[in-house]
Chains A and B, each alone.
Chain A
Amino acid sequence: DTAVSQTPKYLVTQMGNDKSIKCEQNLGHDTMYWYKQDSKKFLKIMFSYNNKELIINETVPNRFSPKSPDKAHLNLHINSLELGDSAVYFCASSQGGLSTGELFFGEGSRLTVL
């Protein structure tokens, strides 16, 4: 069983389109994250949710809207895609609280905007 799964793995789309990436974790964790990894491998946090509540929003353009229907799911919707949005997007989860806080990452969703 995959602990953190994201779909789709690859996404190719035109500028201006709207797209979504879905993420699910079966680890029973309270906290989920979205990270963006650029072409230079730099990983930057975008959002974090704890029990469906937004706790971290790293000044991401409001074209990006995360949604957490329950604590096992965190989806990312992107409106009006731009060339600079091309990257690999990673979902992650952690137990949080007094635990170690280790992040468990999904396999990534490679978004290419043409």
Chain B
Amino acid sequence: GESVGLHLPTLSVQEGDNSIINCAYSNSASDYFIWYKQESGKGPQFIIDIRSNMDKRQGQRVTVLLNKTVKHLSLQIAATQPGDSAVYFCAENRGTSGTYKYIFGTGTRLKVLA
């Protein structure tokens, strides 16, 4: 099936350090990307998005970088906290004509060490 990103890896980070989660996407025509956070037993929650006409977008403690040349997204979390422990997914939109068809990556599990 279609997929974005790699097999589910785990990233362990010390509390207070910065985290960088990476994602590779496959369709150069994708125009919109979202990072989602999924905590155990819950549905994915929106973190931050970016359109293909941008290469960087910042939110509160999070930054998304987009490199269209190599079809790569990254999510940077500053001063990682225990509450950041979750599985993080990137998603690319392959919809057309105003529709949204999101293809999700396989996710990265972030573990925050006290």
Contacts and interface: CB of A to CB of B under 8 A. Distances in A.
B102 A108 contact: no
Contact of A41 (B45, B100, B103, B106): B106
Interface residues of A, number: 28
Interface stretch (A65-73, A78-86, A95-103): A95-103
A91 to B, nearest CB: 8
Q: Which of A50, A103, A105 has the most CB of B within 10 A?
A: A103
A96 B104 contact: no
Contacts of B87: 41
Contact of A96 (B38, B100, B103): B100
Contacts of A106: 43
Contacts, number: 68
Contacts of B106: 40-42
Nearest to B43: A105
B101 A48 contact: yes
A103 B44 contact: yes
Contact of A48 (B43, B89, B99, B104): B99
9 contacts: A4-B43, A35-B104, A40-B106, A44-B104, A48-B100, A56-B101, A97-B98, A101-B95, A102-B46
* Ranked 5 nearest A-B pairs via Cβ: A105-B43, A43-B104, A101-B100, A102-B46, A41-B107
Given A45-B103, A48-B101, 15 more contacts: A35-B104, A40-B106, A41-B106, A43-B44, A43-B89, A55-B99, A90-B43, A96-B100, A98-B98, A102-B46, A103-B102, A104-B46, A106-B43, A108-B41, A108-B43
